[in-house]
Amino acid sequence: MNHAAPRPALPAPDEPTVRTLLLRGGDVYSPADPFATALLVQDGTVAWVGSDSAADSYARDADAVVDLAGALVTPAFTDAHVHATATGLALTGLDLTGCPGLAEALRRIQEFVGAQPAADRTGGVLLGHGWDETGWPEGRPPTQQELDRACGGAAVYLSRTDVHSALASTALRALVGGAATAPGPLIGEAHHAVRRAALARQTPRQREDAQRAMLRRAAELGIGAVHECAGPDISSEQDLTGLLALAAEGGGPEVFGYWGELGAVDTARRLGAVGAGGDLFADGAVGSHTACLHRPYADDPASSGTGHLTADQIAEHVLACTEAGIQAGFHAIGDAALTAVVAGVRAAADKLGLAAVRALRHRVEHAELLDPAGIAGFAELGLTASVQPAFDAAWGGPEGMYATRLGAERAAAMNPFAAMVRAGIPLAFGSDAPVTPLDPWGAVRAAAFHRTPAHRISVRAGFTAHTRGGWRALGRDDAGVLVPGAPASYAVWAPTELVVQAPDERVANWSTDPRAGVPGLPDLTPGGELPRCLATVVNGRTVHLG
């Protein structure tokens, strides 16, 4: 049914925007009318939502009328955590995601290097992403000798799937020196130094091509806005300003930048960022054994990970941001790192007042191993949790990477979305692409069918977190929802059966009763086909036609 669906006759991306546009004959997901089948857009804003019969009175004055032919119209998705350039490089370059083993990884690396122009092999740095040794039969990454043989003397940087460690050829390590010359996967400061060196050798053309590829892919998936999490340890100032300038040209999703540097309020403002946060690292990642834990790793009892910020440093950053009226944020995954974040934000609230801190909606990226005390602290302090459900789909469950690293009991506590929703913590869904792919419906599915049943939330709650939640995280309560007065940023999906899915069957049965007035969404039961995007519109302008 999806593959045969006709494309709605919306203006093409290269055509002038229609001032008044009426869409009718489909399903419109809107709290303004749970049974809406028509939508009126005027000057880039939703002007009206209602039924086809009522739409007749608007059709006479509309500049264009589009027959949806049964298609579904929803708010466009917002991906609340991306790395645009790295994602674009993964889309267009060497992507080792899902590679089945070490031998295959080395073959792909050698083939990729050999296919590059000679000038890039000798004068530049080649980049790749996505290797994950935990799923390989060998159970290990390549040795330095194996990697250098595959790289053939080229300078090559290969980030691990979680982006918190990397492989680098000897030719690249030699550009940095010091601790970066030690063999084996790079972590910590040595990793940051090598990554900075690799990114610095990118040409502006390479960077822009990658960013365009990422924005194009996002639009193809119904994503109308992304939050770019930049910073000195993850990208560069030039990378962020280039992306923001590219997005300002229009023709793709909106981009909102975050700059993750401690105390750098003035830098964030100078760069055009909306917040001094994002990937401001309080710790690392579970897969790289760098997430900061209260208890050691199950598979490495000598390590409890790495904490990068103290509670005092966190408090100082939140104080500076709150006094400047700018949003703060932190990357925190492990329970010890999250404890430090809550303690630091609470200390800032004690000095400035709880209301002042809550008003900025400071945010925490990932918040994976959040215990009950942390959940209570998030709710008390008004912290937004910018989370990635695809992490659980990729690494959760009793046989997954989390269980290997943490043991089954602690792994089952990861990503407690249901408890967070019950506590009133605002959720904003993202991908952390390229860590996991851009895949908004897949993320909603992962939250609704969490590998730990107690952590599951309804499809409706997950969809809200991936649309309106991203806008609320920006302090915007007027967007991410199709109601009169909201920005006309929406996606059109191939016709499909609409259902109401909830973890509790009693709730689902109640919700499907028309008297409940709950609009339906596509069936996201695992194994089924995900919705196909026919068109994406941002502020009334078409940015993708499938």
Rounded CA-CA distance 476/468 in Å is: 9
Element (H, E) at 492: strand 490-493
| pLDDT for res 148 | 94
For residues 206 and 236, is the Cβ–Cβ distance under 8 A?
no
Q: Which tokens belong to 439? A: 């895949």
For residues 438 and 218, is the Cβ–Cβ distance under 8 A?
yes
Burial, 424: exposed, middle or buried (Cβ in 10 Å; 0-12, 13-18, 19+)? exposed
Rounded CA-CA distance 235/239 in Å is: 6
Length of the chain: 546
Supply φ then ψ for residue 237, to 5 degrees.
-60, -40
Q: Report domain extents, the chain.
A: 20-75+481-496+531-545, 84-200, 204-473
Give CA 269 to chain center in angstroms.
22
For residues 232 and 266, is the Cβ–Cβ distance under 8 A?
no
Rounded CA-CA distance 415/124 in Å is: 39
For residues 304 and 311, is the Cβ–Cβ distance under 8 A?
no
Rounded CA-CA distance 501/447 in Å is: 12
Burial, 392: exposed, middle or buried (Cβ in 10 Å; 0-12, 13-18, 19+)? buried
Q: At residue 296, what is the residue type?
A: P
| pLDDT for res 515 | 52
In the chain, which residues have pLDDT < 50? 1-3, 507-510
Q: What is the CATH number of domain 204-473?
A: 3.20.20.140
For residues 105 and 99, is the Cβ–Cβ distance under 8 A?
yes
Classify 415 as helix, strand or coil: coil
Whole-structure pTM value: 0.89
For residues 542 and 66, is the Cβ–Cβ distance under 8 A?
no
For residues 417 and 439, is the Cβ–Cβ distance under 8 A?
no
Q: Which tokens belong to 489? A: 């940023």
| pLDDT for res 381 | 98
For residues 449 and 507, is the Cβ–Cβ distance under 8 A?
no
First to last CA, the chain: 15
Q: What is the CATH number of domain 20-75+481-496+531-545?
A: 2.30.40.10
Q: Which residues pair with 72 in a beta bridge?
A: 27, 493
Q: Which tokens belong to 466? A: 């991936």
Helices 237-248 and 204-220, packing angle to 10 deg: 50
- Cα separations in angstroms, 525 against 2, 447, 509: 16, 11, 16
Alpha helices in 134-181 (DSSP H): 144-151, 170-176
| pLDDT for res 89 | 85
Largest CA distance in the chain: 73
Could you tell me which of 256, 504, 486 has the C-alpha nearest to residue 386? 256
- Cα separations in angstroms, 119 against 124, 437, 524: 7, 30, 47
The fold adopted by the segment(s) 84-200 is Diaminopimelate Epimerase; Chain A, domain 1 (3.10.310)
Contacts (Cβ under 8 Å, ≥6 apart) of 301: none
Sign of the alpha-carbon torsion through 395, 295, 182, 207 = positive
Rounded CA-CA distance 187/78 in Å is: 31
